[in-house]
Copies of this chain bind each other. A is one copy, B any other.
Amino acid sequence: MPAAIEFFFDFSSPYGYLASTRIEDIAARHGRTVNWHPVLLGAVFRITGGAPLVSVPLKGDYSTRDMARCARLLGVPFKLPGKFPIATQAAARLTVWAQQADTEAAKSLAGALYRAYFAEDRDISDPEVCAEVAVACGYERAQALAGLNDSAVKDRLRAEVDEAVARKVFGSPYFIVDGEPFWGADRLDHVERWLATGGW
A156 at the interface (CB under 8 A from B): no
Residue of B nearest to A171 (CB): B59
Contact residues of A between 183 and 199, Cβ < 8 Å to B: 183-184, 186-187, 189-190, 193
Contact residues of A between 35 and 81, Cβ < 8 Å to B: 44, 47-50, 56-59, 61-62, 65-66, 69-70, 72-73
Residues of chain B within 8 A of A184, CB atoms compared: 186
Do A59 and B170 touch across chains, with their CB atoms under 8 A apart? yes
Give bound CA distance, A56 to B48, whole Å. 6
**Among candidates B47, B62, B171, B189, residue contacting A183 with C-beta atoms closer than 8 Å:** B62
Residues of chain B within 8 A of A47, CB atoms compared: 57-58
Do A59 and B69 touch across chains, with their CB atoms under 8 A apart? no
Report the minimum CB–CB distance from A52 to chain B (whole Å).
Answer: 13
A181 at the interface (CB under 8 A from B): yes
Do A193 and B73 touch across chains, with their CB atoms under 8 A apart? yes
Residues of chain B within 8 A of A50, CB atoms compared: 56, 59
Give bound CA distance, A30 to B5, whole Å. 37
Give bound CA distance, A182 to B181, whole Å. 24
Given A58-B48, A168-B58, verify A73-B186 contact (CB < 8 Å): no
17 example contacts (A-B, Cβ-Cβ < 8 A) are as follows A47-B58, A48-B57, A48-B59, A49-B56, A49-B57, A50-B56, A57-B170, A59-B170, A59-B171, A59-B183, A62-B168, A62-B181, A66-B183, A69-B190, A72-B200, A184-B186, A186-B187
Give bound CA distance, A93 to B25, whole Å. 48
Do B48 and A170 touch across chains, with their CB atoms under 8 A apart? no
Do B200 and A168 touch across chains, with their CB atoms under 8 A apart? no
Give bound CA distance, A122 to B48, whole Å. 30
Residues of chain B within 8 A of A69, CB atoms compared: 190, 200
Do A65 and B186 touch across chains, with their CB atoms under 8 A apart? no
Give bound CA distance, A50 to B51, whole Å. 10
Residues of chain B within 8 A of A171, CB atoms compared: 59
